[in-house]
Structure 1
Amino acid sequence: MKHSMPRRLQYWRTSMTYEQSRTLLVAVVGHTNTGKTSLLRTLLHDVGFGQISSRPATTRDVRAATISSQGKPLLTLFDTPGLEDGVGLYAWLEANRTSGKHHDGPERIQTLLDHPIAQSDYEQESKVLKQLLVSDAAFFVIDARDPVLPKFMDELAILQMCGKPIVPVLNHTAAEGHQAQVWTEKLARIGLHHWVAFDTVSPQEGGETQVYEQLVAVLPAARKAIKTLIAERTMEQAQRRAAAIRWLGELITDVSACQFVVQHRTDDATDAATFELQRKVVAHEQSCLRHILQIYGFRPDDARLSGLSVTSGTWQEDLFDPDTLRDFGVKAGKGIAAGGAAGASIDVMTGGFSLGAGTLIGAAAGGIWQSWQKFGQPLQYKLQGYTPLRVDDGVIEVLAKRQLALIYALQRRGHAALEPISHAELRDHFPMEAFVKLRKKARQHPQWSALPGSEFRDSPLRQQAIDAFGKAVLDSMQTG
C-alpha cells in the first residue's frame, strides 16, 4: 500500500455523496498546533509528510496524500491549516444569518466564503471550510492536554455547519494530566459520540484500526474501503515485523559464526586483528540498525535513543564496553576484562591441559577472545602458532537485545514523534532460549558468517536456523 506525494489543491464548489466507486476524501481539521500533521504522518506511515513544529500555524495551505491499494486510490487525507479565531468567526456567522437559512449550515458557510472577509480576516479558516465542504468526512484533532475552552466549541460548531460527519481524535492521551474524559463528556453534549483516543507520538496497539473504525461508524458507506485499508495495514505491519526480525537473525548468525585467525602470535598482530574484528562487527550492526529503521519508515535521526545513545542511525554506546553489557543485564564473561587494561590475560583450558595465557584486549577493546576450547581446530591452530578470535557471547547478547528492543519500540512509535525514543520505551522481553540456540548453531559453522573477510557460504541449514529463531521471536511477541 502506497500513498502519493503531497500536492497543492485547487478548490471547487460542489456537493458530493460518497460512493464506493471513488476515492474516500477525509479532511484533517482542528485548532492550530493540536497535531493535525502529526496524525497524517502516523496514518500515512510517512515521517516526511508536511512540517511539524511546536510553533503554531506551521501548516498554511491544504496538502493531500492518497493511500492506494493495488494501484487503485482508496483514501485521500487532507492536511489543513489550524483554526485560529473560532470565536470571532462564530460571532460573524451568528451576526450574518440569512432569513430562511438558519438551519442550513452549508449555505451559511458558503455565504461566508463568498464574502470578502473570507480572504482577509478569516483566510486560514476559509481554506479549512472549503476543503471540508468537498470532503466526505473529517477528523477533528484535539490536544487532550488542553482544557475545554469556548473557542474550541465554537470551532466545532462552525465545522458542524458544513454538514459532514466528524470524528474527534483525542491526541496526546499518553501525556500526564490529559483531560480526555472532560473532552468526551463535552463532545457527547453536542452529539459527537464517535470519538477515538489516539496518541500520534506513541499510538496504542490497534490504535490506527480504531481510528478507521470510528470513521466507518459515522460514514457506513465507506465500510468496504476502510475494511480493505485495515486488512492491508495489518498485513504490512506483519511484513515489517518479519523483515526486521529476519535482519536481526542474520546479524546474530553473522557475528556468532565469524572467526578471525591471527597468523602471527604477537601482541601487535593480535591487537590489530582484535580492533579490525570489532570494527567489522560494529559496521555490520549499524547496517542492520539502518535497515530496520528503513523498514519501519523512519529516517536515521528519528531513532535518537536517550537511553542507548542512537544518533544519525548509529549506536553511540560502545558494543564492547563492559558498561554497555551491564546496561542490558549481561555479565561480563571471560571475553570481557571489565576495567582491565590492554594485555590482561586469561587461561583457556582444553581437555584438562592449559594451553597458556591468551592475550586479551581489555575494557577499551574487549569482547573479542582467543578460543582454544570451543571453536574448532584448537590444537591445530595452537601447534601452528595461529590464534582464532571470536566475539564474546555477552557482546552478541547485547547486540541482539538492543536491536530487538528497537524493533519493539518502532512498532508502537508514531511517525509524528519529535522526541528521541527513551530507555523506558524499550521492552524487557527477550527470547533467550531461541537466541542461545541460534548462537550455538552458528558457532559451529564459521562459513555462515557474511562479515567482510569471511569465507561466506549460505546453506539450507543456515536459513532453517534463522527461520526458527524468527518464528520463536514472533511467537514471543504475540504472547508477550
Structure 2
Amino acid sequence: MAKPISLALVGHTNAGKTSLLRTLTRRADFGEVSNRPGTTRQVDALALRVDGRDALRFLDTPGLEDAPALLDYVQQMDAGLSHEQRLQAFLRGPAAKDEFEQEAKVLRCLLEADAALLVIDTRELPLPKFASEIELLMLCARPLMPVLNFVRHAEAQEPAWRRLLASHGLHACLHFDAVAPFVGAEQHLYADLGALLPQRREALNKVAEHLLREASARRAASLQVLAELLLSLAAYRQPVSKASLADAGQKAACVAAFQAQILARSRAAQNQLLGLHGFGLGSAEAAELPALSGRWESELFNPEVLKTAGKQLGAGAAIGGALGLGLDVALAGLSLGAAATVGAALGGVASQGFGAVGRSLSQKLRGIVELSLEDQALLLLAAQGLTLLQALERRGHAALEVLQVKVELSFSAEQAAALLAAFGVARAHPGWAAASPLPPSVAARWAQQVAAVVDGLGP
C-alpha cells in the first residue's frame, strides 16, 4: 500500500497556512485561525482520506520569523560544506534549539515532506525578508509550489510577488483564497502538484477526482434538503378559528405563531446545509453567512419584497397577502379558490388547497380557516436557500469576516412552473408537513415531488 503523500505548508507568520489547510480539508475546527501573529507554534498534521484511507498528509508548520538572520547564519558556516551539509549542521547545533527554534521546526518538517506549499499573503509587499525565506526553504531541495493567498483583497500585490518568485525560478504558482476559494482551485492545486511530483501524479489525480465526487454529492444532498423543506412548508397549514381572527390581539398572536413555525423549520434546514458543508453550528462562520441573518427572515414576510420576488422569480402577478400568508377558505356555494379577505393585515389570496375540498368544507362548518404560505414566499425561500448554498460552496473554512457574496437569482418560466406545480401537489397533502416518516402509501408520491423540486432548483 502506497504511503500518503506528505505536504508541508510553509511561509511567513500569518500568511494563512492554517486557513488554507482548513479549506483544503473542510475542517473548520482544525488549529487556530487568528489575525494575531504567530498563532501556530508547533507542527500539526492532518490527513485527507480517500476511499477509506489516508491519501494526503498535510503538515501545518509555524511561521518563519527571522529568515534573513538564519540565512546569514547558515551562509557563514564552513565554505567547504555543501548547502545540505550546512543545513544539517545548523539543525544539529545549539541555534536550532534557541534563537532559530521556529525556523528549525519548519526546515525539519520540510526535509521529511514530499513537497511544500509556500503560502504567501499577497496583501504584504514582497520585501527582502521574503526573498530570504524562499532561499532558506530552497536549501531543503524539495519541490516548492507557491500559493498566492488573499488575491481577491484590494491591497493584493500579485504582480510584484510573481516577479519575486520568478527571480528564484518559481514560475508556476497557484491562485487561492482561503476565505473565498476560487471554483476549481483545489483541482488546479493537485494537478500542478502532479507536475512537481510526477511519480505521485496518479495518486494526486485520484484525490482531485474524489473531491469532485464529494462536491457533487454535497450539492445533491443540499438540494434534497431544500426541496424537502419547501414541500413541507407548502403542505404546512395552521388552523385558526374565525373568532380568533376577529380579535386583533388574537389574530396577531396566530400570525406570529405561524411565522415562528416557518422560521424554525427554515433554520433547521439551514443547519443541515451548514453540516453538509463542514461548518459548525453556531460558529462565527455560520452566523455571518448570507440567509442566516434577521434581515432575510424579515424579508420573508415583507409585502414589498414578496411583490418584487414574485416578478423576479417568475411567479408573475404581485400578491395580495400583506404578510405572505394564504388563507385556505371554503366559501358559500361550495366555491373554492375565490379571493377572500379577512382583515387588512392578512389580505386575501386565492385558496391553495384544491385537493383538500372535503377538509376545507369541514373546517368551514366548524368556523375554522387555515393559514398557509403563498407561492411567492415559497419561491423567495427557494431563492434564499440557493443563495446560501452558493455562498457555502464558495466559502473557505477559515473565514473570520463577513463574506460578501451577491448572488442574483432568478427562475426561468419553466423552473417556476415546475416548482409551483410541485407546491400545488404538496398543498393537497397536509400530512407532508409532519416531521415523522411518511407512510409507504404516500412516500412514493412525496419522493416524486422532491425530485421535481430538485430539478426546478437547477443542477
- For residues 192 and 156 of structure 1, do their structure 2 counterparts lie closer, same or farther at Cα, with a shift above 3 Å needed? same
Post-superposition offset of 1:92: 1.0
| Alignment match of 1:437 (pick from 409, 415, 421) | 421
Deviation at 1:110, TM superposition (A): 1.0
Q: Does 1:147 align with 2:131?
A: no
Gaps of 5+ in 1: 1-19, 339-345, 476-480
- C-alpha deviations, 1:334-373, integer Å up to 9, x for none? 22259xxxxxxx99898889989643573xxx69979488
Q: Does 1:221 align with 2:180?
A: no
- Hey, what does 1:471 align to over in structure 2? 455
Deviation larger for 42-51 or 267-276: 267-276
Matching residue of 1:296: 277
| Alignment check: 8 A CA contact 2:235 2:429 kept | yes
Question: Contact 1:368 / 1:391 at 8 angstroms: preserved in 2?
Answer: no
Give distance in 2, aligned partners of 1:199 and 1:401.
Answer: 26
Alignment of 1:5-154 (within 5 A): 21-96=2-77, 98-101=78-81, 104-154=82-132
Question: Kindly tell me: are residues 125 and 317 of structure 1, through their superposed partners in 2, closer, same or farther at Cα, counting changes over 3 Å?
Answer: farther
1:32 deviates by: 0.4
Task: Select which of 349, 352, 356 maps to 1:376.
Answer: 356
Partner residue, 1:387: 369
Q: How far, CA to CA, are the matches of 1:426 and 1:356 in structure 2?
A: 34
Paired positions, count: 442
**Alignment partner of 1:284 is 2:265:** yes
Indicate if the aligned counterparts of 2:181 and 2:396 stay in contact, CA closer than 8 A: yes
Pair 1:336 & 2:325 matched: no
Out of 238, 256, 267, the position equivalent to 1:260 is 238
How far is the alpha carbon of 1:446 from its aligned partner? 2.2
Supply the AA of the counterpart residue of 1:35: G
CA distance in 2, matches of 1:411, 1:242: 12
The answer (yes or no) to whether the contact 2:180–2:403 under 8 Å persists in 1 is no
Q: Which residue of the other structure, out of 135, 139, 153, is the alignment partner of 1:161? A: 139
Q: What is the one-letter code of the residue matched to 1:116? A: P
Does residue 1:398 correspond to 2:380, yes or no?
yes
Unpaired stretches in structure 2, ≥5 consecutive residues: none
Deviations 1:173-203 (A, max 9, x none): 1112422122223212211122111111111
Judge conservation of contact 2:149–2:176 (CA < 8 Å) in 1: yes
Matches for 1:408-423 after TM superposition, within 5 Å: 408-422=390-404
Amino acid of the residue matched to residue 92 of structure 1? Y
Counterpart AA for 2:321:
G
- Alignment check: 8 A CA contact 1:303 1:420 kept: no
Q: How large is the Cα RMSD of the aligned pairs? A: 3.3
TM-score normalised to the size of structure 1? 0.83
* Aligned twin of 1:239: 217
Deviations 1:410-441 (A, max 9, x none): 1111112111233x433424443432232222
Which residue is 2:169 aligned to?
Answer: 191
Over 3 Å counting, the alpha-carbon distance change for 1:349 and 1:43 in structure 2 is farther
Name the CA shift for 1:50/1:306 in 2 (closer, same or farther; >3 Å): closer
Q: CA deviation at 1:390?
A: 1.2
Distance 2:303 2:33 in 1: 39
Residues 307, 319 of structure 2: 8 Å contact kept: no
- What is the CA–CA distance in structure 2 between the aligned matches of 1:46 and 1:442, rounded to whole Å? 37
C-alpha distance in 2, partners of 1:446/1:244? 24
Task: Measure, in 1, the Cα distance between the counterparts of 2:47 and 2:252.
Answer: 55
Residues 393/361 of structure 1: CA separation in 2 closer, same or farther (3 Å cut): farther
**Cα separation, partners in 2 of 1:309 and 1:368, compared to 1, 3 Å:** farther
* Contact 1:371/1:388 (<8 A) preserved: no
d(CA) in 1 for partners of 2:46, 2:57: 6
Q: TM-score, normalised by structure 2?
A: 0.86
Query: What is the letter of the counterpart of residue 166 of structure 1?
Result: L
Which position in structure 2 is the counterpart of 1:343? none
More helix by share: 2
